[in-house]
Structure 1
Amino acid sequence: MGKRTLILAFESSCDETSVAVIENGATILSNVVATQIKSHQRFGGVVPEVASRHHIEQVTWCLNAAMQEAHVTYDDLTAVAVTYGPGLVGALLVGVAAAKAVAFAHHLPLIPVNHMAGHIYAARFAGRIKFPALALLVSGGHTELVWLEEEGSFVIIGDTRDDAAGEAYDKVGRVLGVAYPAGKELDMMAHQGCDTFNFPRAMLQEDNLDFSFSGLKSAFINTVHHADQVGEQLSRDDLAASFQQAVVDILVTKTTRALHQYPATRQLILAGGVAANTGLRSQLTAAMQAFPQVELLQAPLQLCGDNAAMIGAAGTMLYRHGVRAGLDLNADPALEFPYLDEIEG
């Protein structure tokens, strides 16, 4: 048996400080996550300066805990992987600085990982990724369809024109008085209600793979505000159900359209924070009955949010492909995959 690949991974792109040790890209030896949700709840969203300070306080503790839990020493490690973008610049810098310090001190290769590649590779813990694959990536900051022609290749074929789906959930949650992050509670409420409001499904008729959620969000807010003004009592569960059904319809319709346009697809990967949504999972699973040749690979529920295990999985793949960074690696808050028209153009 060959020498095992042990990757120490750092993730600090937003409001979770996480360090993990991953064996051979598919086995989690440790995945320590220090969440900051309670610190940001009173503000109704993530405050970048507060997030950065928490990362500084937590990163060394997470590193020590991850190494202890994995029962490994620095001499055992193969390389260090770190999220260098996209995300909040101050938050990213903490993880990048910590990863560079470990890599320098212990003479280890440094692997730069795109946070979105990490989300896709969270699915690696549910099964092997088969190419060519299509990924539906739905999170607080991103909603995009990504074409993976081969390992290490990521091309955006559809993107949101405005709000990401997770962002819309948080804004709608605020209107309903649901604490940040709102996704999980709105999902639970949606299962108690009915789609009685029939909110708009933007861009469904347009012949592209792009998304839009700002009109849906505005329609929701206007409906609630109007009811408040005239003293009408609306069902919060029905509001949640109507909003969620609109989001899921948009996501599933565009994804199935992409599968028709990319008939070579062997696997559909569902990943990102909103991938934990039970309404989305069940409706997408049902829609996949029309594509028996395509396997649905869903990121494990506990790995849909930000975590370092997914960065370790993506980092292992990049390590195999010879991707390395120097100690001059910097945070890139606006990092993104290339777009299809950029490549074709």
Structure 2
Amino acid sequence: MRTLGIDTSNYTTSVCVYDSKTGEIIQKKLLLPVKNGERGLRQSDAVFHHTARLYPLMQELFDEYGGEIDAIGVSEKPRDAEGSYMPCFLVGVNAAKCIGAAMRKPVYGFSHQSGHIAAALYSSGKMNLIKEKFIAFHVSGGTSEMLLVSPDSERAFSVEIIGETLDLNCGQAVDRVGVMMGLSFPCGKELEALALKSTEKYNPKICVKGGNCSLSGVENQCKKMLENGEAKENVARYCLDFICKTLEKMTEYALDRYGNLPLLFAGGVMSNSIIRSRIQSRFGASFAQPEFSCDNAAGVAILAEEAANE
């Protein structure tokens, strides 16, 4: 079966085709433009950019793929929760429904978060976990949640939040610190490159209570470090060490409370090599490959294939 995936998140337009027979994924995506010095996009701007970019991106995909599709999967909301909504996803939903109607193909809607989890399962070679209970972290600019994922008879899986940030998301912290230092938004790759130049290793005081965390402190501390003349590479390293230690503490809580369940990490922040290597070496966790950590349409294409075969 070959499925089309569409995801129009707050910062990336993504389309892909998934062939379940070969396991091959062809994906195309474009970051939405954010002006220098700004820390994000208004929803109206995101909708405009998705509308302008989706057709040429889709054309590029099918120029390379050139085959038929059997079903369509699309991200329709941020999370599987009542009231979860962002206007940017309407662009993808409308495109999916139009294509489905024209081609007489079924359209399946999923949450953006479920797509991240499915993409992580696929790219880490752990698709077998889709029928088991496991702990997943979705760590990005829009979400920092620890989830208990369970098989579900009505959909591929259900998720229960067992820990989350009470203020800033991890990706927000990275971007705010990065913009502070003059980096381009989104700042993850540049901040990581800076941090890798540092010879320092920090043991910051973090704020984790139960499964929940607070990350506003890292922004304030990094601002003070810069004001005191600390080298940018050390500030970047402190920021990432703070986030990593926070995630480690949350993981300890989850394993203590829910037992030795498999661990899966997804979301753009988890493409960071510093954070990945520490958590993987300590907990033996599985991670989405970097190209599937950031926003993508692969996950919803995979979930569409699962739904069509039920």
Q: Same fold (TM over 0.5)?
A: yes
Q: Give the corresponding residue for 1:71.
A: 66
Moved beyond 6 Å, runs of 4+: none
Q: 1:79 to 1:197 in 2, by over 3 A?
A: closer
Shift in Å at residue 162 of structure 1? 0.8
Cα distance per residue 1:238-279 (max 9 Å; x no partner)? 1111121111001112113212222251x2111100010111
1:163 to 1:52, Cα distance in 2 relative to 1, 3 A: same
2:126 to 128, 140, 156: 128
Choose the corresponding residue for 1:217, options 219, 225, 240.
Answer: 219
For 1:46 and 1:168, how far apart are their aligned partners in 2?
A: 16
Select 1:308's aligned residue among 281, 297, 301: 297
Q: How does 1:132-211 map to 2 (within 5 A)?
A: 132-150=133-151, 151-195=156-200, 199-203=204-208, 206=209, 208-211=210-213
Task: Quote the residue 1:325 is aligned against.
Answer: none
Q: 2:17 aligns with which of 18, 21, 38?
A: 21
> Matched residue of 2:214: which SS?
coil
Letter of the 1:85 counterpart: K
d(CA) in 2 for partners of 1:200, 1:264: 26
Name the structure 2 match of 1:92.
Answer: 89
8 Å CA contact retained: 1:199, 1:219: no
Show CA shifts across 1:164-214 (max 9, x none): 1000100111111111111111112112224477543112xx3x1112101
CA contact under 8 A between 2:165 and 2:213: conserved in structure 1? Answer: yes
Distance 1:40 1:90, change over 3 A: farther
Question: Distance between the aligned counterparts of 2:234 and 2:260, measured in 1?
Answer: 39
Pair member with larger Rg: 1
Distance 1:116 1:25 in 2: 25
Q: Deviations over 1:265-299 (max 9, x none)?
A: 1x21111000101111111012125xxxxxx3211
User: Runs of 5+ in structure 2 lacking a partner?
Assistant: 79-83
Q: Which one-letter code corresponds to 1:70 in the other structure?
A: Y
- Shift of residue 88 of structure 1? 7.6
CA separation of 1:186 and 1:81: change in aligned 2, threshold 3 A: same
Partner of 2:81: none
Structure 1 gap segments, 5+ residues each: 228-232, 290-295, 322-345
Sort the Cα spacing of 1:252 and 1:182 in 2 relative to 1 into closer, same or farther, 3 A.
same
Higher percent of residues as strand: 2
AA partner of residue 186 (structure 1): L
Change (3 A) 1:264 1:251: closer
**Residue 5 of structure 2 contacts residue 73 of structure 2 at CA under 8 Å; is this kept in 1?**
yes
**Aligned with 1:89: secondary structure?**
coil
Q: d(CA) in 2 for partners of 1:25 and 1:180? A: 38
Q: CA RMSD in A?
A: 2.1
Report matched runs for 1:270-289 at 5 Å.
270-288=265-283
Correspondence for 2:259: 263
Q: Give the secondary-structure state (helix, strand or coil) at the position aligned to 2:182.
A: coil
Q: What is the CA-CA distance between 1:94 and the residue it aligns to?
A: 1.0
Partner of 1:103: 100
Residue 96 (structure 1) shift: 0.9
Q: How many residues align?
A: 297
Per mean C-alpha deviation after superposition, the further-off stretch among 211-220 and 132-141 is 211-220
Distance of aligned partners of 1:29 and 1:235 in 2 relative to their CA distance in 1, 3 Å threshold: closer
**TM-score calculated relative to the size of structure 1:** 0.80
Flag the 1:33–1:310 CA change in 2: closer, same or farther, 3 A.
Answer: same
